[in-house]
Every structure is written in C-alpha cells, then in structure tokens.
C-alpha cells in the first residue's frame, strides 16, 4: 500500500449552499444554515428546527421521470458527484473500469419508507411503487452515481451511522493505495429531515430543544450546548493516485495520508466518558500517516453539540496530543449547518481539504460561554487565516463506530 493518494475534486450539497462554492463561502463567512423545519408541520414535535437544504431542484441533475425512482439522499449524492467530477476534470483520463465509487448513508431512504408506509395504510396493498425498494436501499447512491458517470471500478457502500462518510473515504483511499483503482468518488449522503426521524431522535433526547433560537441551537463545546440539530446534504471527494493525477496535470487540492478505525464496544449511542474509542481511532490514523501527534495543526472535530459527546472528544484530544492539544486549532463546522449524520464525514472532509487549499481555519460559531472542561482553541466565531500542513478529521457514530482521516497540504 505505497501509492500516494490525492484529492482533485470536492462536491457538496449542504444547508449552506447547493454547490461546493456556495457551501464553502458559507463556512468562511460563519453563516448559519439552521432554521425552522419547512418540510412538514413540526408543531408539537420535540425538535422543530433542522439544517435543511434550501432550493434544491432534483430535475436540474436528474431526468424528471427518474426523480420518482430515487430517495432524496440519492438525489443529493448525484448533485454532489456532478460538482466533484466537474472540479476534478476526469473525463477521458482513465478507463471506466479504473474509476470506482464508495458512497454511504447512515440511514438511507427513511423519507420514502415513511411516504409509502402512509400510502399502504391509506390505500391498502398493491399501491406501493415498484421503485420503492430500489429507491430506499443505502447502496443506491453509489449505484446511481456509477451509472450516471459510467464508473465501472470497485463499487460499494458503507453504513456506519455518523462515521459513514469518513469510512467511505478511508476505504476508497485504501482501494487506490492497493492499486485496485486509479480514481474513486467517495463520501456520504443523507436526506432524513422527516417527521419520523425528528420524532425518533427527540425520543432519544438527542436533539437541541432550542427551537425558538435556531440560529443559536448548534453550539459545539459551548457550556450551554443541549443536543445536536438534524441536517441533510451530501459531501463527496474525488481521490486519485498521485502520480497519475500529476501526470495528467490535475489541480491537486490536498493529499490523504492516514486512516484509522476503531470500536468503542461500550454503548449503542453514548461514547465512553474517557473517550477510549476516539483515542484509539486518532492514534490509528496518525500511525497510518506516519506522523507524531505534534505534526497535526488542525482538527475538524466531530463536535455534535451534545453535552457528553463533545466532552468525551475533548478528553480524547488531550489524551492523544498531550500539551500539544492546547496548541491545536479545533473546530466543529456542525455549528453552522447541524449534524448531517452519514453525510457529516464527507462534508467535513471536503471542508478540511478546502481549508488546507486556502490556508484558513473554519470557525466554531455560537461559541459564547466557555465550558471549563472544553478549554481548547475552538477557533471561536470567526474563520482564521493560518499556515498549516496537517488536518485530522474525526467522525464517531452510534454503535460505537469511529473513523479518522489525516489530510496533508500538497506540496508536489
């Protein structure tokens, strides 16, 4: 596994914008993408706010006759893949059999499950669409993207809750490093801002109750954090073998050099208080990258805005980095857009890559009341220009599944 792997394309659909350009501009501005739910009447629900994708029109990307064949998470993935592949400018440079796809979702087609369950209850058997099953299953984002762009290489899908995007990117990184493909489209997608998801997460007491102040509800590491805000969208990367990307004159955004995975083996939804799984996944990613902890400059944190989750991650950062933890920049871009579940790692990896490219540290907005135990440099409220070389991006998921990636500024 000695092939170097670089990133040449980034695609995002987020609550901050329908393209990479608009989403990244929103991150740099520290814009809030969270507001009252408009997709259904949320009156009476525990959670009434979300990071919704606004103004999305699937027919700009997909033929009208095909829209009904796919759940929203698939539509978001297609839009993000168009964005990423246009940036990478791959056309004609590789045989289709040498380009693969690994795109995952934490939940998949919950929207369409809810829709057709209501149809069945109301109209009886025989009224469910023949496209129901193909529309909802988790690997259909990968399937549709590969069909659309004729990508005939390795094709699979991850489903590891909120670690999904990072696992997909890390697995694709290893596919190229092993020589099984020359390029991969990879990341995560999610589209579950629906009443069933809101009710389910509310029942777990996982969501912020700050319904009257949506712009201030997602506040990672702040002392008044009270839960995450559900969000939707997609984040994809185009990875390539470095020598081939360089030979074709590609614009290289950054390099991916490390990938770690671990399991908490502790609880179905809560992290251990000492951050054991997070500690091991970060150390694994650093070992894979061949880096000492002090070489990391910035951590794009999982940082969901939950009381225990954020504290556990900070404790893990201090265990891994020691005194260097206080010299790190650490931020959570979930403060601006909420928690995209299976798409979170994809979007946050895209942000990490663009941060390296542009040499700017994204902010943690809504950081107003420091938590005495969360006492690191969280890049509060405003993006910061800075020269830096290495980024660690964390994703932790229900079931105790963890993934961390290390990105490096590309220097040729």
Give per-residue pLDDT as tens, 307-321. 999 999 999 999 999
Catalytic residue among 73, 302, 374, 390: 302
Q: Find the mean pLDDT for residues 335-361.
A: 98
* pLDDT score, position 1: 58
Q: What is the pLDDT of residues 157-166, one digit of tens each?
A: 999 999 999 9
Q: What is the pLDDT of residues 366-404, one digit of tens each?
A: 999 999 999 999 999 999 999 999 999 999 999 999 999
* pLDDT score, position 175: 98
List the single range of 90-104, 116-130, 331-345 with lowest mean pLDDT: 116-130
* pLDDT score, position 412: 76
* pLDDT score, position 273: 85
* Residue 272 pLDDT class (50, 70, 90 cuts): confident
Following CA atoms 395, 397, 402, 404 in sequence, which dihedral angle do they give, to the nearest 10 degrees? -10
Establish whether 186 is a catalytic residue.
no
Question: Could you give the domains of the chain?
Answer: 7-247 (3.40.47.10), 256-408 (3.40.47.10)
Q: Find the mean pLDDT for residues 249-268.
A: 96
Establish whether 302 is a catalytic residue.
yes
Which helix (H) or strand (E) element contains residue 384? strand 384-385
Q: What are phi and psi of 168, to 5 degrees?
A: -60, -45
pTM of the model: 0.97
d(CA 364, CA 258): 24
Catalytic residue among 73, 149, 159, 162: 162
pLDDT over 90, % of the chain = 96
The set of residues, in sequence order, having a beta carbon less than 8 Å from that of 283 and lying 6+ positions away, is 260, 320
* pLDDT score, position 281: 98
Q: Find the mean pLDDT for residues 22-41.
A: 98
* pLDDT score, position 323: 98
d(CA 264, CA 272): 7
Q: What is the pLDDT of residues 179-196, one digit of tens each?
A: 999 999 999 999 999 999
Q: Find the mean pLDDT for residues 262-270.
A: 93
Tokens representing 334 are: 């979930």
For residue 380, give Cα distances in angstroms to 30, 145, 370: 10, 37, 10
d(CA 307, CA 221): 8
Q: Find the mean pLDDT for residues 348-358.
A: 98
Q: Report the 10 Å Cβ neighbour count for 149.
A: 18
* pLDDT score, position 94: 96
Q: Which of 146, 121, 333, 122 is nearest to 221 (CA)?
A: 333
* Residue 18 pLDDT class (50, 70, 90 cuts): very high
CA 329 remoteness from chain centre: 19
Q: Find the mean pLDDT for residues 231-251.
A: 98
Q: Which long-range contacts (C-beta less than 8 Å, at least 24 apart) are formed by 45-48? A: 45/195, 45/198, 45/199, 45/202, 46/198, 46/199, 46/202, 46/203, 46/205, 46/207, 46/209, 47/198, 47/201, 47/202, 47/207, 47/208, 47/209, 47/211, 47/229, 47/230, 48/211
Catalytic residue among 186, 339, 374, 390: 339
Establish whether 324 is a catalytic residue.
no
Tokens representing 299 are: 């951590």
Q: Find the mean pLDDT for residues 56-79.
A: 95
Strands 298-300 and 390-397: parallel
């Amino acid at each position: 596994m000695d092939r170097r792997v670089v990133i040449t394309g980034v695609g995002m659909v987020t609550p901050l914008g329908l393209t990479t350009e608009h989403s990244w501009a929103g991150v740099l501005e520290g814009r809030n993408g969270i507001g009252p739910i408009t997709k259904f009447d949320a009156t009476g629900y525990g959670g009434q706010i979300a990071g919704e994708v606004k103004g999305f029109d699937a027919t700009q990307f997909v033929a009208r006759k095909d829209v009904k064949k796919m759940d929203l998470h698939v539509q978001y993935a297609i839009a993000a893949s168009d964005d990423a592949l246009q940036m990478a400018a791959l056309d004609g440079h590789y045989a289709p059999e040498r380009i693969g796809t690994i795109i995952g979702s934490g939940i998949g087609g919950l929207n369409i499950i809810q829709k057709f369950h209501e149809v069945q209850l109301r109209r009886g058997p025989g009224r469910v669409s023949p496209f129901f099953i193909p529309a909802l299953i988790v690997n259909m984002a990968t399937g549709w993207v590969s069909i659309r762009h004729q990508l005939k290489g390795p094709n699979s899908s991850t489903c590891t809750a909120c670690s999904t995007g990072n696992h997909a990117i890390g697995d694709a990184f290893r596919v190229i490093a092993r020589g099984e493909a020359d390029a991969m489209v990879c990341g995560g997608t999610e589209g579950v801002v629906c009443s069933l998801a809101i009710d389910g997460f509310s029942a777990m007491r996982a969501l912020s109750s700050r319904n009257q102040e949506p712009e201030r509800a997602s506040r990672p590491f702040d002392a008044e954090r009270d839960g995450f805000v559900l969000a939707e969208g997609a984040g994809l990367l185009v990875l390539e073998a470095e020598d081939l990307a360089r030979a074709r004159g590609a614009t290289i955004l950054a390099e991916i050099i490390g990938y770690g995975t671990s399991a908490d083996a502790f609880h179905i939804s809560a992290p251990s208080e000492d951050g054991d799984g997070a500690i091991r996944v970060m150390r694994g990613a650093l070992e894979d990258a061949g880096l000492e902890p002090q070489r990391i400059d910035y951590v794009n944190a999982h940082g969901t805005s939950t009381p225990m989750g954020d504290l556990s991650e900070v404790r893990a950062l201090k265990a891994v980095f020691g005194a260097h933890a206080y010299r790190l920049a650490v931020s959570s871009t979930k403060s601006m857009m909420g928690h995209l579940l299976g798409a979170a790692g994809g979007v946050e990896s895209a942000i990490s890559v663009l941060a390296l490219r542009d040499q700017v540290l994204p902010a943690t907005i809504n950081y107003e009341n420091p938590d005495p135990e969360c006492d690191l440099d969280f890049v509060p409220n405003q993006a910061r220009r800075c020269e830096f070389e290495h980024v660690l991006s964390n994703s932790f998921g229900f079931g105790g599944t963890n993934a961390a990636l290390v990105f490096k500024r590309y220097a040729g």
